[in-house]
Each structure stands twice: as C-alpha cells, then as structure tokens.
Amino acid sequence: MHGVRGFVITLLGLCLSAARLGAQSAITGAVTDSLSAGPVAGSTVQLVSANNPAARLRETTTDFAGIFRFDAVPADRYLIGFLNSRLDVLGIEPFWRLDVRSGDSLVRTDLALPSGAGLERAFCGARRDSSGLLLGRVLDADSGIPVVGAAVTVRWRDLKVDAHRVDVHDQSLRVTTDVDAHFSICGVPTGDAVLVEVMSDSRRTGGLEVRVPPGGALARDLFLPGVSSLDGATAPQRLSSAQPRARTARVRGHVLTLAGRAPATAHVSIWGDDRIEGSGTADSTGVFAIDGLTPGTATLEARALGFQPARVLVDLSSAHTAVADVTLGDRTTRLDTLRVFARRRPPDLSGFEERLQRNWFGRFLTAKQIEAMHVPTIAMVLTTVPGLQVLGTEFGSRVTSSRRCIPSVYLDGFELYNGDTALADMVTPDDVRGIEVYLQPGTAPLQYGHNQCGSILVWTKRYQHE
C-alpha cells in the first residue's frame, strides 16, 4: 500500500513539473547592425528580470547569422540587451523591455545597433543640414589601453562659387576624448572625404581620409602609436617628439579589381604621420605584405596603371599582422581635350618678390635659375633643393623631406590635394616663375605654415601681369 501511494505522489509531482515547464516560453531573435545592415555574430545576449534585478542573469551567444535563443523562460517582465565590440566603439549600452506572458510558447524580439540617423539624433540633436556624425574611441595601438584627453581634429575644404569668384575656406572641428576615451564630432560633411588627425603628447597619426556616409554616422576606433613602441624610452623621454619609433608592425592583404581579378602590377604604400611608412608591390595574384611599420592607424593606398587609386584605413599593431583587402575603382577613361576660356584674376605675387629680396627663411629658385637647369620635369627641379627628396615610382613621383615627411604644396597660393603628385600634371619647369621651399616648422609665411612637415610654394608665369 505504501508502495502504491509513493508511486502516485511521484507521478503527481512529475505532472506538476511538466505543467510548470509547459507554462514557460522560449525567446528568440536576431542581432543586426543597422549601420551595415548585416548580422552581428558572436554577440553576448543577456536576459534578466526587470522586477527582480538580483535574479540570475542569463546569457547566450549569437550564431553566424546573428540568431540567439533562450529556452524555459517563465512569465515575467525582462530587460534584454547585448554586448559587442561595436557597442564599445559607440560608447552605448542599449537594452529593451520585454514582457513574457503566460501561454506564450515563443516570443520573438530582434535587437539592433542604432542606425546612423538614430546615432546622429542621439549625439547631435535634430539637424536640418546634410552633415553627419563621426564617433569612436582613441586607443593605444599595442596595448589597446584607452587614451584619455587625445585631440581629434577633422579638416575639410569648402568651395563657394558665385558669378564672380570661387572662394576656398578651410574648415575644421576639434574635440578631446572623454574619461572613457570616447569622442563624437557633429557637423562633419557626408559623402566627401575629410581628413582626421589624432594627437596625444608626442604621439600622432597622419591625415586619415574618412567618409561619413549619407546615412548620418560613422563609428570607428582610431589607434595611436603605443608609448611602449618608443625605442628605449624611459618615462620622461616619452613626451619627446624627436624620440624614434619602433617599426614593429606588419600588414598583408590583396589588391583586386571590381571584377575580382588582380591587376598586372599594383603598388601599395602606407602613409602615417604625413610620411611614407613603407611600400611594396603586389604579386601576380594581388597579394602584398609590408613590414617595418610604426603601430597606429594609417592610410593604405593602392595604385595600378589604368585604375582609380584606392585608399583604406588600416590599424597597425606590434601584437598581430593587420589585414587589408583593397578593391581598385573602374578603369580610368581619358576624356577629349576641353578648352575653357575665362578672364583670370592674377594673384598678388608681391609677397614672393618681397621674401625673395629679403632672403626669407626658406630656399628660393627663380625662373632664371630654373631655366639654367635644362631639366624636363618639376620633380627634377625640386631635387636640387637641399633637404628635399623625390621618390620615384612607376606611378609618379612623391616629394618628401629628408625626414620622410610630406610637405604641403601650393600653386599660385592655392593648396593642392596630393600636391606633390598633382603638381607634375599641372606645370612644367618652363611655366614656373619662382619656387619657395620651407622645411622647418615656423619658417613659412603664416598663411602657408600649417603643416609641420613644411611647405612648397610654386608661382607660375601664366598668371603674372603682362
């Protein structure tokens, strides 16, 4: 009798447990990145009771498609959120409230990183113009330690055209990273390339070319050369701008065309701190590898004859080899000659004449001196200036100082983007009236002295008064 009674009690307990389990639900969904419209694999999804925060926190991980699932979830009100490195960049911790009711067998809830427009509204408020948001963190390239108080500067150039003239205005925005090393910059132009520079004490990046998409926001971490990568530096020496850097980073990758094929020959250069860090040539399959680089975020540029050059940012570190795959633009097309007739307004060259007569701090070349050289290219003219070097490649010439630093180039008072390469296509030695070269900081005229690598001023004959 007792045996039968015990059996009945046990069976009743199993039935009650089954009933309780039957009343529980499953929660499933997907985590997506609204900025890229793709799934977020490997994210940690967390679930906790909103009514009892001390209750056990449950966690699961999204699969390759961004899908997650929790089973045996009792009816309750919950907080659900996820952790991901992308959220670390944004500096936000999103969570959602979720009600699980009795009788719900399956609850579907999708989680997502905020969209670009949503991020811009959150950080910048309501805006009526077409500008966007740049945000992220500044980190040490080798250790990943946040860099607090780093200055992040965005620069771009505005052109304003009316019926009488074209005005060029240099614009910039500057912020410093907060206590968590985050930064956010509102009012950045969208669609077009802007230059971003990061500086902290003696550490800095060169001009990094980024594009904020029309959607409204770009989130990206930026890496400074690590303090540990100062060669033999003791603590007081780490602030010395002259301290050499350990070139311990490496990058590898592929250069391909839009058709997915490797170009016949592709040349790859790494630009950091406004100078060439290293270069190499891709093999017949498009594979390249460059070592001996300074850690930190740098610009990788790939060029191949007949294709548009491509530039991408690459995060270099001593701890691992960076990987960068580059896709070249469509094959360039040569247009028929276009002749434009216009009245030109000659620039004021009195400043050049005055500095020449006063023997200003730079180096000067006059038209008579240039004519006496009998050389065919402007690059060959510049090689005669002490402290300048011209690095020849099959894709053109790059002008650097003896410090492998890239000076700014001005043509008749206007700064040229990629000036050292563009200059060769715009003038010949016969066109030049005079050249000024300033390689030491603080020696160039004020309006041409923003680049610590120096300035090259080229004045042509075509604009002088008859």
Q: What is the pLDDT of residues 325-335, one digit of tens each?
A: 999 987 655 55
Is 311 contained in some domain? yes
Based on the fold, state whether residues 297 and 370 are members of the same structural domain.
no
Q: Are 400 and 391 in contact (CB under 8 A)?
A: yes
Based on the fold, state whether residues 163 and 219 are members of the same structural domain.
yes
Based on the fold, state whether residues 99 and 137 are members of the same structural domain.
no
Q: How many domains does the chain have?
A: 4
Q: Domain containing 43 — which CATH number?
A: 2.60.40.10
Q: How far apart are the first and last CA of the chain?
A: 126
Is 182 contained in some domain? yes
Q: Domain containing 438 — which CATH number?
A: 2.170.130.10
Q: Which of 58, 91, 113 is the last residue of a domain?
A: 113
Based on the fold, state whether residues 253 and 197 are members of the same structural domain.
no
Distance, CA of 389 to chain centre: 28
Based on the fold, state whether residues 197 and 250 are members of the same structural domain.
no
Distance, CA of 359 to chain centre: 41
**pLDDT of 349:** 61
In terms of Cβ atoms closer than 10 Å to its own Cβ (0-12, 13-18, 19+), residue 152 is buried
Based on the fold, state whether residues 137 and 198 are members of the same structural domain.
yes
Is 240 contained in some domain? no
**pLDDT of 47:** 92
Based on the fold, state whether residues 128 and 101 are members of the same structural domain.
no
**pLDDT of 160:** 66
Is 92 contained in some domain? yes
* pTM across the whole model: 0.61
Low-confidence ranges of the chain (pLDDT < 70): 1-23, 35-37, 127-128, 159-168, 215, 227-245, 273-275, 331-350, 391-398, 402-404, 417-425, 462-466
CA distances to 19, 134, 192, 451 from 125, in Å: 50, 14, 22, 34
Is 11 contained in some domain? no
Q: Which amino acid is at 353?
A: E
Is 141 contained in some domain? yes
**pLDDT of 252:** 95
Based on the fold, state whether residues 77 and 103 are members of the same structural domain.
yes
CB neighbours (10 Å) of residue 267? 21
Which range marks the domain in which residue 251 is found? 246-334
Based on the fold, state whether residues 399 and 434 are members of the same structural domain.
yes
Q: Which of 181, 196, 230 is the last residue of a domain?
A: 230
**pLDDT of 269:** 87
Is 2 contained in some domain? no
Q: Which of 113, 130, 161 is the last residue of a domain?
A: 113
**pLDDT of 9:** 43
Q: Are 85 and 31 in contact (CB under 8 A)?
A: no
Residues 6+ apart with CB under 8 A from 317: 141, 142, 223, 249, 295
Residues 6+ apart with CB under 8 A from 433: 349, 352, 366, 367, 459, 460, 461, 464
**pLDDT of 18:** 42
Is 466 contained in some domain? no
Based on the fold, state whether residues 109 and 119 are members of the same structural domain.
no
In terms of Cβ atoms closer than 10 Å to its own Cβ (0-12, 13-18, 19+), residue 3 is exposed
Based on the fold, state whether residues 206 and 256 are members of the same structural domain.
no
Based on the fold, state whether residues 35 and 104 are members of the same structural domain.
yes
